[in-house]
Amino acid sequence: MRRSAALLSLLAALALPAAVHAEDAKAPDELIEIDGKQPVAIKPDRAYLLFRTTDKWFSPVFLRIPTEAEVAAFYAAKQQAFDKALPALRKAHAAAVAKRQAAAAKGQASGDDMPGEPSLATFDYHHDAVQNLNAANLGKALVKDKEKRLMLVEAPPGNYVLYGAGNQAAMMTCLCLGTVGFEAKAGQITDLGTIPVAIAWQPSDDPVLKGETGLGASVNGHWALPAVGLVPPDSRAPVPAALAGKPVVPASFRAVGKFVAPPVFTINRLAPVAGLLAYDRGRVIDGRTGEAVPDNY
């Protein structure tokens, strides 16, 4: 498991607030990669994500939508932290007001921005009990060759969003402009199919990424922009020998609308997926119904 260095942003109805940092020590590992060196044992209380990727550098980043209990615990912890910090916050606010008033009395500007009254809504709080934004470590693959990886990842059961692309412990790109979600059930291996990745400014021979690549170097920011696609699982594809007889089920994907970007180097969208995900002048379209998917702001 590699934790993402990005803050977990609010995704309205999708991702409820459980903000975490890569340096948090209390949060347990949520993704555990299973390599081909050990037998695969399916635990009845854990979910498993199976996917293939065409790039050894950029890993998919998965967001698990927090449970109602986790959300309640977050707000309770935030309230407790705010109550503890409130005296100091009020003291700092009063000092800032006094400084502003003293400067005004002398006909001077204080030079500092005036802070607002301390409030729970604006309180900067980082939760360290839940780590639900994770990138898979592609170095620990069930099967791998020079470039491609077949990953099997143990994870908590729940609803997930294909949130972006990471490199090592950093979240490089979020798929903030449109992506997909899926449910991973306990005791099952959820097959996500193939998640191809290429560099967006360079042309790609991958038909899935053809329309998302060859865009020129101007799309790059501090880091090269990756293009990410999805090829849903094919029931005719052979099952790896290590998974023979195991409960492998194809993922049931849903289109996910736009959401607010966390602090990342670049933002992008998941490439269109026939019959599942499409776009119309920036709007995210559910490919099954043809209807626009609500944004998550």
| 110-114, 157-161, 252-256, range with the lowest pLDDT | 110-114
pLDDT over threshold 90, residue 38:
no
Task: Quote the Cα angle for 294-78-87, to 5°.
Answer: 135
The whole-chain average pLDDT of the chain stands at 85
Whole-prediction pTM = 0.84
pLDDT over threshold 50, residue 183:
yes
Query: Could you please report the per-residue DSSP string of 184-219?
Result: E-TT-EEEEEEE-EEETTS----TTTGGGS---GGG
State the pLDDT at residue 148: 85
Reported as a single tens digit per residue, the pLDDT across 84-120 is 999 999 999 998 888 888 888 888 876 667 778 899 9
State the pLDDT at residue 168: 65
Question: 21: pLDDT confidence band, cut at 50, 70 and 90?
Answer: very low
In this prediction, residues 1-6 reach a mean pLDDT of 42
pLDDT over threshold 60, residue 8:
no
Which DSSP symbol is given to 235?
Answer: T
State the pLDDT at residue 130: 85
By DSSP bridging, strand 143-144 and strand 149-155 are: antiparallel
Distances (CA, A) of 136 to 62, 85, 104, 277, 282: 8, 36, 55, 24, 29
State the pLDDT at residue 13: 33
Reported as a single tens digit per residue, the pLDDT across 57-76 is 888 999 999 999 999 999 99
In this prediction, residues 31-42 reach a mean pLDDT of 88
State the pLDDT at residue 1: 46
State the pLDDT at residue 110: 67
Reported as a single tens digit per residue, the pLDDT across 186-223 is 999 999 999 999 988 889 989 999 899 988 888 887 77
Question: 18: pLDDT confidence band, cut at 50, 70 and 90?
Answer: very low
State the pLDDT at residue 20: 34
